[in-house]
Amino acid sequence: MTVLRLGFVPLTDCAVLAVAQAKGMFARHGIAVQLGREVSWASLRDKLMAGAVDGAQLLAGMPLAAAAGIDPAAPPLLTACGLGLNGNAITLSSALWVRVIAADPAAATRRPLTADVLWPLVDADRRAGRPPLHLAMVYPFAAHHYQLRYWLAAAGIDPDHDVRLSVVPPPRMVDALADGAIDGCCVGEPWNSLAVRRGVGRIAITGYELWNNAPEKVFAVTRRFAERNPQTHLAVLRALLEASAWADAPENRDELARLLAAEHLVGAPAGVIAAALAGDIALGGGARLSLPDFHVFHRYAATFPWVSHGIWFLRQMRRWGQLAGAGDLTAIASEVYRPDLYREAASALGMLAPEIDLKREGVHTRPWALETSAGSIPMGPDAFFDGSVFDPLGDADFVGGAMLTR
Amino acid sequence: MIVDENPDRAALIERSLVAAGYQIVARVIGRADLQAAVNAVQPDVIVIDMESPDRDTLEDMSRITRERPRPTVMFVDRSDSDSIRAAVQAGVTAYVVAGLQPERVRPVLEVAIARFNEFQDLRRELESARSSLEDRKVIERAKGILMKRRGLAEDEAFRLLRKMAMDRKTRLATVAREVVAAAEVL
C-alpha cells in the first residue's frame, strides 16, 4: 500500500488531521498516512507543489491566491474540506495594553475591544514622531491578516498608513510580544493563550467575536493529485469528516488536548490547549471569557467548503490591493472550493451536507437551521462585530465592514 | 546573511561560503524580528534553511516591501528529494539540494544571483509597460474631457495638453492626471 504524506503546521487546528491519524479514521478508510510537521506555510506549500507531500493543512487564502495568479510559486490547488472554524485572536502586548488603559481606563471592561482604543495612541505617536505601532500576522494570505485589517479599518485606522504590519511566524509570536519587537498580533491558538499565560499579552478580541464561526484552515491537494487519485482523495475526505465529528464531541476534548500537546504535533502544554478547546479563554489580567464555539471542528457544517467563503477571501485580497483587476471572483473561488466532492464523501458516510454552495454572512446573530432535502443542519451564528452583512453575489465592491476607500 | 535554526548547520554553511570567497555579514538563528535584522544589515544575499519558520517572513518581505528585494538561496535536506528542486521556481529563490559541499556553493550562489537579477529586470520591464499603458489611458481621458468642455477636435485637445506640459516642464501624463482630477472636482 502506498503511504500518503500529509503536512501540517503546529496549531490547534491541525486537530482533524491528527485525530484521523491517531484514532484510526485513515486506516478505516484504507489509507496509510504519514503526517509531517512543517514549520512554515511557504515550505508546506512548496512541498505540496513538488509532490513531497500529497495533501496539506493550508491557510484558506493560499489555494485562492494561487488560482488568482497572485502567488506565482503555487500550482493549481483545490479544497473539498475545511478543517474548522474560528480559533484566532488579536492580542496586544502588555506594554501596549498599559498605554491603552492609560488613555481609556474603561477599555478594561469593554468586550470585545474595538480598534478605536488605538486611535489616540496612533495619533500621539505620529505627533511625537515615534514609529507607528507594529502589528504582526502570520502570512499575507492568512485569515488572520484580513481579520486584523478588518478590525483596524472598522475603527478608521488605515492598516497601510497608520500602523506597520508584518509577518511573524506563529512560534515566534510570543517572544516577539515579550521583546517588544511587535506591539500586537493576530494569530491562531495556542499562541494567544500562551502569551497571556506568560504575562506578555492581553487578548483584545477573539476571532469568534470578530466574525462568528469564521472559516479557518482548509485541507488542500493539488488539482493534479485529485484528478489522478479520485478514490484516494475521497477516502481521505471521508476519514477527515469522521475525525472532525470525533474532535467536536465535548466528551473527546480532553483526550484531544492531550493528543495535540505531544511534541510531534503542537508541542504546547495540554492545559492551555484544553482550556481553548473548552472555550474557556483567559484574556489576561485575570479576565476570562467563555466562548463554547471558540474552536468548531464539525458542527455547523464546519468542514463544508463554502464557495462564498472563497469569495470573501478573494474580496479581501482585492480590497487590500493584493489582487488587482476585475477578474470573476466567483469563478476563481469555484475552481478552488469543491462542494461537489465534499457531498460525495459525506453521502458515503450518510452525513448531511448543505445543498447550496453559497451563503450570506452576517445575517444570523443566533443559531439557525440550514434546510436540505434530507433534513436540517443546525448552524451557528455568523455575525460580524460591526453588524455588517456579506453577500457573495451582491455588490462586488462591497467587502464588509466600514468601507475604507483609498 | 545566514538564517538557520540549527547553529551547527549554520556554521557548516558559513564555512562553505567563506571557503567559496563570500563574506558573512550576519547569522540569524531564530529571532523574532527578522525584518529588522535584514533592514539593519542590508545583506546582498540571504541564505536560509528551507525548514525555517522565517521563510514566511522572508516571503512576505519580498512580496510586500518592494524597496529592496534581494536574492534568497535555500538549502534543502537531501531527504526532501530532488523533486523540490525540480519543481521550483519563479526566480526570486533558488532551492539547492544538499548543497553543502564547498565546491558547489559558489556556482549555486552565482546562478541564484543571476536568476534573481534576470527576474528583477523582467519585473521592471513589466512595470514600465504597465505604467505606460496607464499613462495612455489617462491621456485619453484628459483629451476626452478637453474635447467635451472646450469643444475641441481630438488633435487640438492633444496639442493643448502637450503645450501645457511643455510650458510647465512636466510630463504629458502628469498634466493629463491633473486635468482628470480637476474635472472630477468640478
Q: Residue-wise pLDDT tens for chain A (406 aa)? A: 689 999 999 999 999 999 999 999 999 999 999 999 998 898 898 888 778 899 999 999 999 999 998 876 667 999 999 999 999 999 999 999 999 999 999 998 888 999 999 999 999 999 999 999 999 999 999 999 999 999 999 999 999 999 999 999 888 999 999 999 999 999 999 999 999 999 999 999 999 999 999 999 999 999 999 999 999 999 999 999 999 999 999 999 999 999 999 999 999 999 999 999 999 999 999 999 999 999 999 999 999 999 999 999 999 999 998 998 778 999 999 999 999 999 999 999 999 999 999 999 999 999 999 999 999 999 999 999 999 999 998 765 555 444 444 4
Question: Would you call A52 an interface residue with chain B, using a CB distance cutoff of 8 Å?
Answer: yes
A158 close to A320: Cβ distance less than 8 angstroms: no
Of B54, B84, B89, the CB nearest to A52: B84
Distance CA B107, CA B94 (A): 12
Cα separations (Å) of A167 from A33, A170, A186? 31, 9, 10
Residues in chain B: 186
Which of A14-23, B51-60, B93-102 has the largest mean confidence?
Answer: A14-23
Of A40, A171, A176, the CB nearest to B55: A40
Q: Is the peptide bond before A140 cis (omega within 30 degrees of 0)?
A: no
Cα separations (Å) of B86 from A74, A167, A223, B120? 14, 28, 19, 22
Distance CA A335, CA A307 (A): 9
Distance CA B162, CA B172 (A): 6
Burial class of A136 by CB neighbour count within 10 A (0 to 12, 13 to 18, 19+): buried
Residues contacting B171, CB < 8 A, separation 6+: B165
- B-contacting residues of A 68-127, CB under 8 Å? 72-73
- Residues of B within 8 A of A140 (CB-CB) are 59-60, 63-64
Q: Is the pLDDT of residue B87 over 50?
A: no
Question: Would you call A324 an interface residue with chain B, using a CB distance cutoff of 8 Å?
Answer: no
Tell me the nearest-neighbour CA distance from B20 into chain A, angstroms. 27
Of A39, A166, A181, the CB nearest to B53: A39
Tell me the nearest-neighbour CA distance from B179 into chain A, angstroms. 20
Of B30, B55, B83, the CB nearest to A42: B55
Cα dihedral sign, A62-A67-A72-A77: positive
The answer to whether the CB atoms of B32 and A182 lie below 8 A apart is yes
Within its chain, how far is the Cα of A356 from the centroid?
A: 22
Q: What DSSP line would sit under A170-230, residue for residue? A: HHHHHHHHHHTS-SEEEEETTHHHHHHHTTSEEEEEEHHHHBTT-B--EEEEEHHHHHH-H
Report the pLDDT value the prediction gives residue A163, as an integer from 0 to 100. Answer: 96
The answer to whether the CB atoms of B32 and A41 lie below 8 A apart is no
Report yes or no for ipTM above 0.85: no
Report the pLDDT value the prediction gives residue B91, as an integer from 0 to 100. Answer: 37
Residue A285: count of CB within 10 angstroms of its CB: 12
The answer to whether the CB atoms of B87 and A140 lie below 8 A apart is no
Distance CA A399, CA A390 (A): 7
- Residues of A within 8 A of B55 (CB-CB) are 39-40, 42-43
How many CB pairs below 8 A link A and B?
86
The answer to whether the CB atoms of B33 and A170 lie below 8 A apart is no
Burial class of A4 by CB neighbour count within 10 A (0 to 12, 13 to 18, 19+): buried
Of A39, A139, A170, the CB nearest to B52: A39
Report the pLDDT value the prediction gives residue B183, as an integer from 0 to 100. Answer: 85
Distance CA A181, CA A160 (A): 19
Q: Report the DSSP beta bridge partners of residue A289.
A: A281
- Residues of A within 8 A of B87 (CB-CB) are 46, 49-51
Cα dihedral sign, A317-A363-A292-A55: negative
Of B50, B64, B95, the CB nearest to A140: B64
Residue closest to A238 by CA, chosen among A388, A348, A324, A107: A348
Tell me which of B56 and A159 has the higher pLDDT: A159
- Residues of B within 8 A of A182 (CB-CB) are 32-33
Question: Would you call A49 an interface residue with chain B, using a CB distance cutoff of 8 Å?
Answer: yes
Q: Is the pLDDT of residue B86 over 60?
A: no
Q: Report the DSSP beta bridge partners of residue A58.
A: A218
A386 close to A115: Cβ distance less than 8 angstroms: no
Tell me which of B172 and B94 has the higher pLDDT: B172
Q: Which three cell numbers stand for residue A358?
A: 453559497
Report the pLDDT value the prediction gives residue A402, as an integer from 0 to 100. Answer: 43
**A212 phi and psi, to 5 degrees?**
-60, 125
Q: Which three cell numbers stand for residue A112?
A: 470585545
The answer to whether the CB atoms of B84 and A176 lie below 8 A apart is no
**Chain A CA closest to residue B59:** A42
Q: B139-148: list long-range contacts, CB under 8 Å, 24+ apart.
A: B139/B172, B139/B173, B139/B176, B141/B176, B141/B180, B142/B175, B142/B176, B142/B177, B142/B179, B142/B180, B143/B176, B145/B179, B145/B180, B145/B183, B146/B179
- Residues of A within 8 A of B29 (CB-CB) are none
Of B35, B57, B83, the CB nearest to A51: B83
Q: Which three cell numbers stand for residue B62?
A: 519580498
Amino acid at A208: Y
- Residues of B within 8 A of A39 (CB-CB) are 5, 51-53, 55
The answer to whether the CB atoms of B53 and A72 lie below 8 A apart is no
Strand positions, DSSP E, chain B: 2-3, 27-28, 46-49, 72-76, 93-97
